[in-house]
Amino acid sequence: MRIGFIGSGAMVAAIARGGVAAGMNASDFLFTDAHGVHAPALAAELGASVASSNGSLAHQVDILVLGVKPHVQSAVIKMIAHIVRERPEMCVVSLAAGRTVESIAKDFGAAVPIIRVMPNVNAQIGRSMSAICSLGASEEQVAAVEALMNKVGRSIRIEEKDFPAFQALAGCSPAWVFQIIEALARAGVKHGLTKEVSVAIAAQALAGSADLVLEASEQGTVPSELIDRVCSPGGTTIAGLLAAEAQGMSTCLISAVEAAIARDAEISTRTR
């Protein structure tokens, strides 16, 4: 199965590198990019190939991944739409935020198999959380794309109406977590640790806590139960937790999600 990528930016590179690292054949990957810079470099790195044009790529692949920015996706689609319409066995994968499967189908001017994927920045280290939905794609096609995304983390199939919430929880939250780590590290510096040591301590603590939540969830344990386990009566953890809640920690994070969802709605309106 050949996979073609139109656009060869950071997210496409992360997915392709993850696929090759997980054992996929680099010769099955084909790349293009608008300026002829990133695609050749990525192909050379992986031992893959570069297509002479987007149209040439569309003629050759079984899965066509649109890795371009949302604001240019429509124009790119219109250049290859006639080729895609002639190849109903090929599915199109969109990585663009804010572009619904219906809007993508409208650009193609016909019913073509479309799969929308939303990864996050952690794909670059093989720890992405990706959402998948589809329109007109077969189970086999969706499963193939799901397998590809699982090479760079975990994926989940959800309804497209839930993508804005997913984007906030998975796409935006890494930046918020980076800020949390930065704030904790500053507190460490305040109390005598170096910044480097403080960042390492905070980052590892959060990474381990996330892994523990995922492992515990498999046993039906929810985060609130884990909180109770580490908050000893009259101890330091509960004192810190209550102080954080008094300053609005939970309210702040919920507000961040709400703001991200609202902004997604604004962007989606402009990119339809």
Q: Is the pLDDT score of 219 beyond 90?
A: yes
**Residue 7 among known ligand-binding residues:** yes
**What helix, strand, coil percent values describe the chain, rounded to 5?**
60, 15, 25
Sign of CA pseudo-dihedral 197, 200, 202, 208: negative
Token readout for 212 is 């523990």
Q: What is the pLDDT of residue 128?
A: 95
**Residue 171 among known ligand-binding residues:** no
**Residue 10 among known ligand-binding residues:** yes
Q: Regarding the domain delimited by 166-271, which CATH topology (the fold level of the hierarchy) does it fall under?
A: ProC C-terminal domain-like fold (1.10.3730)
What pLDDT band is residue 272 in, cutting at 50, 70 and 90? low
Closest Cα to residue 31, out of 70, 55, 57? 57
Residues 6+ apart with CB under 8 A from 4: 29, 30, 31, 32, 51, 57, 58, 60, 61, 63, 64, 65
The pLDDT tens digits for 173-212 are 999 999 999 999 999 999 999 999 999 999 999 999 999 9
Instruction: Classify domain 3-158 by CATH architecture.
Output: 3-Layer(aba) Sandwich (3.40)
Give the neighbor-by-neighbor strand order of the sheet with 49-50: 49-50, 29-32, 3-6, 63-66, 91-94, 114-118, 128-135, 153-157
Q: Is the pLDDT score of 270 beyond 70?
A: no
Q: What is the pLDDT of residue 271?
A: 54
The pLDDT tens digits for 16-62 are 999 999 899 999 999 999 999 999 999 999 999 999 999 999 999 99
Domain extents for the chain? 3-158, 166-271
**Residue 6 among known ligand-binding residues:** yes
